[in-house]
Amino acid sequence: MPSYLSVFLRSGLAAAILSTGLALPATAADKTLTVYTYESFVSEWGPGPKVKEAFEKTCACTVNFVGVADGVALLTRLKLEGETSKADVVLGLDTNLVEEAKQTGLFEPHGVDAAAVKVPGGFSDEVFLPYDYGHFAVIYDTETINAPPTSLKDLVEGDPSQKIVIQDPRTSTPGLGLLLWVKSVYGDKAPEAWAKLKDRVLTVTPGWSEAYGLFTKGEAPMVLSYTTSPAYHMVAEETDRYQAAEFSEGHYIQIEVAGLLKNAPEKELARQFLAFMLQPGFQDTIPTNNWMMPVAATSEPLPEAFGKLVQPKTTFLMEPADVAANRQAWIDEWLQAMTLK
């Protein structure tokens, strides 16, 4: 999940040895772990800097984060690089993309004991390891909207003058999440639902950051985000102004995962990092840096604000194989209904 604040805002001895023409043996400290992820994870305010510091203390290595715009862009980059990719770990795909990622043939089983992982629905996978999760939600401005939508039907058929900003499912994991949420509720009637909803859509952005930025600037009173988004505003800004609308049908979940590249230059380090993801040194950074829910134990209780969040009574999550088989067709369906094709 994107970070919120990012929206706003050689020794003489070595020289002597080298002059003799002798090569130094490689040490752990010489090793670099390359992790592909999304930009907000590695932003100044995201989990990346703290994760890097914590893991480097345990591995005597250097962590090199390489950021791209979003999880969908991450998969696209991997497909382009193929077996020439320099990545050891890919962090930031989600369960809607894992089957397609497996089909590239670029990943291998992580080999990590995932017994500590606790996510709604109990997702587990031998190739991709969860590290956080969150339910998608419509976030609204309480200073503008007194009666927020109480269901997806309310959102689709509501007052078109009350606009929402959403993300493009071709480039954004939240955008893809909304696409699957609508499909889960409406099924074959999804095109008709999109045709109605488009009148409420102010704009479709490439990613989450652009959408949330427009929302907080007051360009629209609603935005597609996460049930955890209000926690950021309550903890960091000490305001209850922005809230999540609870939908009676339920909410679609995003479970973010990481995977090990088959051709990883530092495969053993990569496995160490994946195991580290389930430890407090990593999980502690998730609630108040990535503003998502941790999948394993943290060293401290969650902030009080998390107890005030919407707790979905029903969780939607499609099988990864079904998403992989139908994603393009459903995107084409969305494009036609939104007249973006």
Which residues are registered as beta bridge partners of 223? 139, 165
Report the pLDDT value the prediction gives residue 24, as an integer from 0 to 100: 37
Distance from the Cα of residue 302 to its chain's centroid:
19
Residue-level pLDDT at 69: 79
Task: Please give the torsion angle defined by the CA atoms of residues 231, 258, 224 and 68, in that order, rounded to the nearest 10 degrees.
Answer: 110
Going by C-alpha positions, the residue among 273, 263, 296, 265 that lies closest to residue 111 is 273
pLDDT of 3 reads 65
Degrees, nearest 5: CA angle 107-30-108: 10
Q: What is the 8-class DSSP label of residue 288? A: I
Token readout for 226 is 């996460």
Phi/psi at 171 (5° precision): -125, -10
Backbone angles phi, psi at 249, to 5 degrees: -70, -25
CA distances from 306 to 228, 233, 268, 270, 294 (A): 7, 11, 36, 31, 12
Name the one residue in this structure whose structure tokens are 């480097």. 56
CB under 8 Å to 157, separation ≥6 — which residues? 196
CA 199 from chain centre, in angstroms, equals 27
Element (H, E) at 302: none
Separation CA 318–CA 202 (nearest Å): 28
Would you give the distance in Å from CA 200 to the centre of its chain? 25
The pLDDT assigned to 321 comes to 95
Predicted confidence at residue 13, as pLDDT, reads: 36
**C-alpha to C-alpha distance for 307 and 161, rounded to whole angstroms:** 32
| pLDDT for res 17 | 33
Buried b (16+ CB within 10 A) or exposed e, 201-228: bbebbbbbbbbbbbbbeeebbbbbbbbb
Contact indicator for 28, 261 with CB cutoff of 8 Å: no
Read off the pTM. Answer: 0.89
Q: What is the pLDDT of residue 136?
A: 98
**What residue ranges of the chain have pLDDT lower than 70?**
1-29, 340-341
Distance of alpha carbon 293 from alpha carbon 313, whole angstroms: 16
**Which pair of tokens denotes residue 108?**
């291998």
Q: Which residues pair with 166 in a beta bridge?
A: 204
The rounded distance, in Å, linking the Cα atoms of 88 and 322 is 28
